[in-house]
Structure 1
Amino acid sequence: MANRTGTYVAFDGLGMTDPTKSDFRYYATIKAWCANSNIEFNITNSHEKTYAVRDTSSKATLYSRIQERLRASKNMLVILTSDTRYTGSVLSYEIEQAIDNYKLPLIIAYPGYTSILDVDSHKDVWPKALAERIGKAGTEAIHIAFNKDCILAAVKQFSVNGEHLRR
């Protein structure tokens, strides 16, 4: 198995090609934090460990690349917003694969919050793949605010070889 050092960042692109009109903007924020030498934030991005997938790539190529990235990941950061679709996005496939095949702990981040005190109050933004797996044996997840300090702490602490999470 590949060296599992990466963090796989997942979000719903909402089928948009303009990243400012989708949850891609939160992924771009994470990349900006990593690139800024004045900010203490560094994660190993699983997406940067393999060849890029183009918009013109076939579904088979996309899914193959997702699996390759997940194999190299120690955890998955899932960004959920009120725009996240219940079904019909690649995010559902990514969550299914992460939990069912790669046993990755999920770090679920919610933009617009300073803390997550009641996990169940966020069920309305969970994709079906997550809703069906939360609370089941083998699913490990922590729910946090989309905040650089929270994300960095969670990424450092929760991994396939680290802490065991409870919902």
Structure 2
Amino acid sequence: MNRTGTYVAFDGLGQADPSKSDFRYYSLLQAWSANKQIDFKITNSHEKTYAVRDSSSRATLYARIRERLSASKNMVVILSENTRKSGSVLSYEIEQAIDNYKIPLIIAYPAYSAIWNVDDDLSVMWPTALSTRINMPGTEAIHVGFKKEPLMNAIPRFTINGEHLSNGRNVYSRDAYVTWEIVK
């Protein structure tokens, strides 16, 4: 399968109402991509396979996740202060992305405009699946503020066949955020 998609993962927080979960950030990514006035395009891995219904079995859901990950060049992981440590599908998605598909992670934090170091403030939002893998050899990740510019920069760069990240704790420089006019 051609690995051209970006898989977007977030914690649905067990909510039926998407506005009460981190789904709203996924929706914002979709809106940026759909807006012809914004130079932001994402090939969404979720649109490459059959939809999964709320009534689908966990086995069906996990099979679709694996199918989508196998078509993905990278994964955007959205983490908020509400992200659960365990018990969500997000944990499975992270495990599969790192362990089986060797997909680089672009970890975006909606509570932050810019990230210049990976510290305890960020790690409290990590699901256990990420915490146990972040320092493992072979894990590739960059941590960014949830802003259009760093996401636009990271998505085409850090891919299965693109630039490789040295470890699981990479960040952009302060100068990059200044260039993007996110900070002064």
TM-score of the superposition, structure 2-length normalised?
0.89
Any idea what SS the aligned residue of 2:135 has? coil
* Cα distance in 2 for residues equivalent to 1:135 and 1:163: 19
- How far is the alpha carbon of 1:41 from its aligned partner? 0.8
Contiguous gaps of at least 5 residues in structure 2: 170-184
> AA paired with 1:7?
T
Question: In structure 1, how many angstroms separate the alpha carbons of the residues matched to 2:60 and 2:82?
Answer: 26
Kindly tell me the number of residue pairs found equivalent between the two proteins.
Answer: 166
Match of 1:134 in 2: 134
Structure 2 distance, partners of 1:15, 1:75, is 25
For 1:28, the equivalent position in structure 2 comes to 27
1:158 equivalent in alignment to 2:147: no
Aligned mates of 1:152, 1:50 — CA distance in 2: 24
Structure 2 counterpart of 1:90: 89
1:113 Cα shift?
1.4
Deviations 1:23-58 (A, max 9, x none): 000000001111111111101000000111010000
Contiguous gaps of at least 5 residues in structure 1 = none
Q: Deviations over 1:127-161 (max 9, x none)?
A: 00000000110100000010111111100100011
Aligned residues: percent identity? 67
Partner of residue 118, structure 1: 117
**Cα deviation code 1:65-88 (max 9, x no counterpart):** 000000000000000000000010
Quote the RMSD (CA, aligned, Å).
0.7
Structure 1 stretches of 4+ with a deviation exceeding 3 A read: none
Distance 2:151 2:53 in 1: 27
Larger radius of gyration: 2
Where 1:125 maps in the other structure, the secondary structure is coil
Give per-residue Cα distances to partners, 1:93-130, cap 9 Å, x unaligned: 00000000000000000012121022123000000000
Letter matched to residue 13 of structure 1: G
Q: Following the alignment from structure 2 to structure 1, what is the Cα–Cα distance between the partners of residues 135 and 163?
A: 17
Paired amino acid for 1:67? R
Residues 10-25 of structure 1: pairs in structure 2 closer than 5 A = 10-25=9-24
Q: SS of the residue aligned with 1:116?
A: coil
Q: Whose relative contact order is higher, 1 or 2, with alpha carbons under 8 Å and at least 6 apart?
A: 1
